[in-house]
Amino acid sequence: MQAYVEAVNERISHLVSADKDSDLSAAMHYSLINGGKRIRPALFLSIVDAFREDWEAFIDMAVALEMVHTYSLIHDDLPAMDDDVMRRGKPTLHVAFSESTAILSGDALLTDAFSLIANIDTMNTSRRLCAIKILSEGAGSKGMVKGQMLDLKYENTDTSVKTLNHIHAHKTGRLIAAAMMMGACAAGEDPTAFESIGIELGLAFQIQDDILEATTDETTMGKSFSDAKHNKSTYVSYSGIDGAKQALSHRFQSIREALKNLPIDVTKIEPLIQAIETRTH
């Protein structure tokens, strides 16, 4: 995991410079550099590695994923959405710069991500197209954006676990699934099997987020806690800490079982699953 994260950080530093004459590039740099755990790009690279491909050749696709994820966090923090003031241990982008700069930086990160993938000319066109299709579908109106819309719709409402799962399978699950599926695309393999595993991992990730939010503090997590402010139901508010922990353990068990059935070198992914399972922020 460390090797993937270091490679992603190095490539981000190379690709995104903090141009003093451009508020837009300074703002994109501010959000992208430092702080993020780089889980989605690391997952993508581990799948490429598990198919025994040279993962370092696919680093720009990993960075593109992090750019889409970072855009989603910037927009999620805006006053019109969660209205949060801390992210990745720093003031959120609209607080550090301005609301309009935060909106435009998110727009730019999302758009530039696709240009980055389209320009990986060392990669065969059908693999690039497969990745672009999956990333756009995972992030767009049937994926993460739909999840965000549902999340806003169900604020101030008592939801069932079924509805919570539906929201988070889209909001958190679809981009994590896209990361894994893009790993298969990049290796020239069929991505289908990774869709349900990725969504399962996204749901586990969200349950964990809710448990951490209930058991730790904003400084440790490096972000504002705003679920209570918006009266959002969480896995903990619905099932209690013990119930949420039990659901989490079931999900990780089924993720490991599903991965074992695939024709890949699972030892490349297991350390990452382990790191996600035991994360503290």
Residue with Cβ nearer ligand GRG (37 or 256): 37
Least separation in angstroms between residue 144's CB and ligand GRG is 5
Does the footprint of ligand GRG cover residue 28 (CB under 6 A)?
Answer: no
**Of 33, 86, 104, 145, the one binding ligand GRG by CB under 6 A:** 145
- Using CA atoms, how far residue 19 sits from 67, 96, 151, 153, in Å, is 18, 16, 35, 38
Name residue 94's amino acid: H
Most distant pair of Cα atoms in the chain: their distance = 52
Which helix (H) or strand (E) segment holds residue 249: the answer is helix 235-260
The pair of three-digit structure tokens given for residue 7, joined into one six-digit string = 């490679």
**Of 49, 76, 112, 195, the one binding ligand GRG by CB under 6 A:** 76
Residue with Cβ nearer ligand GRG (127 or 234): 234
Query: Is residue 144 helix, strand or coil?
Result: helix
List the x/- string, 33-72, binding to ligand GRG by CB under 6 A: --xxx-x-----------------------------x--x
Chain position carrying tokens 């006053």? 79
Least separation in angstroms between residue 219's CB and ligand GRG is 14
Query: For the chain, how far is it from start to end, CA to CA, in angstroms?
Result: 16
**Of 136, 165, 172, 234, the one binding ligand GRG by CB under 6 A:** 172
Nearest to 179 by CA among 280, 37, 278, 34: 37
Least separation in angstroms between residue 139's CB and ligand GRG is 8
The pair of three-digit structure tokens given for residue 61, joined into one six-digit string = 């696709």
- DSSP lists the bridge partners of residue 91 as 86
Residue with Cβ nearer ligand GRG (72 or 92): 72
The answer to whether 15 and 8 are in contact (CB under 8 A) is: no
Does the footprint of ligand GRG cover residue 92 (CB under 6 A)?
Answer: no
- Using CA atoms, how far residue 215 sits from 63, 82, 97, 128, 226, in Å, is 31, 21, 31, 41, 14
Least separation in angstroms between residue 52's CB and ligand GRG is 27
Does the footprint of ligand GRG cover residue 152 (CB under 6 A)?
Answer: no
The pair of three-digit structure tokens given for residue 46, joined into one six-digit string = 């581990």
Residue with Cβ nearer ligand GRG (138 or 191): 138
Residues 125-144, interacting with ligand GRG (CB under 6 A):
144
Residue with Cβ nearer ligand GRG (35 or 243): 35
Least separation in angstroms between residue 223's CB and ligand GRG is 7
Does the footprint of ligand GRG cover residue 171 (CB under 6 A)?
Answer: yes
Number of residues that bind ligand GRG (CB under 6 A): 18
Residues 180-239, interacting with ligand GRG (CB under 6 A):
205-206, 209
In sequence order, what DSSP letters do the residues of 56-69 get, joined into one string?
GGGHHHHHHHHHHH
The pair of three-digit structure tokens given for residue 113, joined into one six-digit string = 């991500």
Q: What is the contact surface with ligand GRG in residues (CB under 6 A)? A: 35-37, 39, 69, 72-73, 75-76, 88, 144-145, 148, 171-172, 205-206, 209
